[in-house]
Amino acid sequence: MEYWSMITEILSLLLLVVLILNLNYKRRVLTPAVRCFWAGLFLTAFCIVWNLFCILLIRHGGAVPYQFLVFVNTAYFILVVLSGSLIALFVFEKMLEHVYDDHCIKRARRMLGGLTLIYTAVVFLNLRYGFLFWFDREGGYHRGPLNVLGYGIVVAELGLMYLCYFKHRVSISKEMKRTIKLFPPVVLLLIVLQISDQELLLNGMIAAFVELILFLAFHSQKMGYDSITGLGNRDTFFSDLELRTAGDQPFQVLLITLTDFNGINTRCGHQVGNEFLYSAASWLEDSRTDVSVYRYIGVTYAVIMPCLPEEQSMAYRKLLQDRFEEDWTLGAYSEKLQAVFGSYLSAGEPHNANQVMEALDYMLSVMKRSDQPWVDFDRTLSSQMVRRRKISQLLKEAVEQQGFEVWYQPVYCWKIRSFCSAEALVRMKDRDGGYVSPAEFIPVAEASGMIGEIFWFVLKEVCRLISGGQIALPDGISINLSMTQLEDPDLDAKIMEVVAEYGLSPEQIKFEITEEQLSSHPVIAGDTLRKMLRRGFRFYLDDFGIGYSNAAAVAKYQFEYIKLDKSLVGEIATDDRSRLLVRNLIHMFRDLGMGVIAEGVETAEQLACLTELDVEKIQGFYYAKPMDGQKLIGFLRGYGSDRR
Ligand code: C2E
Ligand code: CA
Ligand code: CA
């Protein structure tokens, strides 16, 4: 009869209990791999308890009915191989997680299932032949000649893992690579120890060590996972992309960005907001078995999945769109998570993870501005992105080499029948000597933070021109402000410093802002505006008449002039209703104590309409196109001498 010390099994059990207590039940999204790991962990712990029970029974073998002894031990042999196979299955699931070949994982499952079945059959045959173990009439336990067969199964499974590993190593994660180097040697060492010293009981320890290594690699709360959604974060997403691109596998990435999440946070509070984020993450994880979901950034999820046939792809798109049009319910809260979707297909030219990230970031910026529910990263978007990259590069060079110029467009004033002010418009040279439109590079400069450099350069150039004393513009020169400047709480003091440095006073410089800027950050922009007004600077409201125009917002701040956008001006000569609208707007602005500048005036007909409507100031190609500072000096001089 054998006498085993139970201490190793008890220690292993304690170790497993610690792991079980540390499982992150609430936050984990239950993927098949997670389920498999949890099941393996619980079954292993149960096996150890069962084994301890077996040992106690064997110690009192004579007093226990023979059939019961056989049943309990037979069950143990089956449980051990089942728990071992579950652990192995988890390793396969994790190993093949980034390999889009369904056959591999199916083959692995079949092989594991086959080995488990064979061994189970052997355990049942053992009841008759006793080649694993048998009991004598006194209840004494004896090992059979094939007692170590179970370890043979473990070694066979390890062999399969290595085969799989070498076949797919380019697409196997770093964690898995580390794990696969660590646990097989530990397992083999413990098996050798167990076989060479029959007094030891190491089965529980083998399983517990493997579980510990896997837990540390994949399930501990570690960097790379978002604590709110339980999803991998942007870094983990990037590592996933690196593996997929290294393996040259076709795949697609869908981005889902929530468009009005601030509203939910305000209505329900941040805690409930987080729970909504978690619900959506879980739903996305469950939406298909072959998706990996990440928290890409903020309230944007990324879903990586295989390229699907057209029909399936459309069906999945519909599923996503439909779900995000329905309510999400959390206790008493029910909210719609409005979303915009983007789709990026990797099939095509080879690319690396950085290039994919750049494309996704660009697609996301387009999604945020889009009024369509889906944005596809197609050829048009791709060439826009390339152009944007070029602009970004040109901007960087222009900032480094002072490559900007400031041009000026004179503004004609009816009251004095002369040019009374000008708008400063920045220019940037292309590599081939042409100019890039500011309408194209200003948004890139705003997004990349380079707008600050441009603004200060323009301000200093304008101050230099005015302080040179060669131009006489009674209402000064206006400069366009971006949101980034309005966010600076010390903007008024900094501008004042520059203006004073050139010996100018605030009324010589005007600032143009759009209503979009005011309404996107009303508090910050409003504060800056008020501080500057107090210092004596005056503002023009730019681009009135496009998109955002809201007459109520105009009344909130004291603008010196409202600039009617060229889209509005363009229609007044041909459309009676537009003329009527502009007439009423002008009356309203005048009642509020604000003047009107009409922008984009190109024709004599437009001018005739505007003078009839009594618009004070006119800016447009009809009078002058933007020109550099030297030309402006000449233009104003020439106009002065030509005046009748
Ligand atoms: P904006 O502030 O509305 O400037 C007026 C734009 O309309 C200028 O284009 C000007 O050349 C153009 N324009 C003037 N008269 C006419 C006309 O009769 N017909 C037509 N078709 N266009 C006319 P530009 O210089 O290309 O500037 C485009 C936009 O870039 C500006 O629109 C402004 O939003 C931005 N921008 C230009 N310079 C700066 C700057 O220094 N800072 C910032 N933040 N933005 C700037
Ligand atoms: Ca402007
Ligand atoms: Ca404008």
| pLDDT given for residue 127 in this prediction | 94
Q: Where are the alpha helices (DSSP H) in 259-309?
A: 261-268, 270-287
Q: Where are the alpha helices (DSSP H) in 61-173?
A: 66-95, 102-129, 149-167
CA angle centred on 162, ends 156 and 166, rounded to 5° = 150
Q: Which atom of ligand 1 is nearest to the CA of 481?
A: 44
Ion ligand 2 residues within 5 Å by Cβ: 480, 512, 542
CB atoms under 10 Å from CB of 611, counted, come to 12
Ligand nearest to the CA of 563: 3
Angstrom distance (rounded) from CA 450 to CA 399: 8
Q: Which atom of ligand 1 is nearest to the CA of 543?
A: 3
| pLDDT given for residue 250 in this prediction | 87
| pLDDT given for residue 17 in this prediction | 96
| pLDDT given for residue 644 in this prediction | 37
**Ligand 1 pocket test target in 425, 428, 601 with most atoms within 8 Å of CB:** 425
| pLDDT given for residue 549 in this prediction | 65
- Give mean pLDDT in consecutive 10-residue pieces for the chain, a chain of 644 residues: 78 95 70 86 96 91 87 94 93 81 85 94 94 88 90 92 87 82 91 88 92 86 76 93 86 95 91 88 91 96 94 96 94 91 84 92 94 95 94 94 94 93 95 90 92 96 96 95 91 97 96 87 86 96 80 82 93 88 91 94 94 94 96 89 49
* Of 634, 559, 638, nearest in space to 596 by CA: 559
**Strand 339-345 versus strand 374-376 pairing type:** parallel
| pLDDT given for residue 212 in this prediction | 94
* Amino acid symbol at 617: K
Pocket of ligand 1, beta carbon within 6 A: 409, 425-426, 437-439, 442, 454, 458, 480, 482, 512, 542-543, 566, 600-602, 619-621, 626
Residue 91 neighbours by CB under 8 Å, 6+ apart: 161, 176, 179, 180, 214
The pTM of this model reads: 0.67
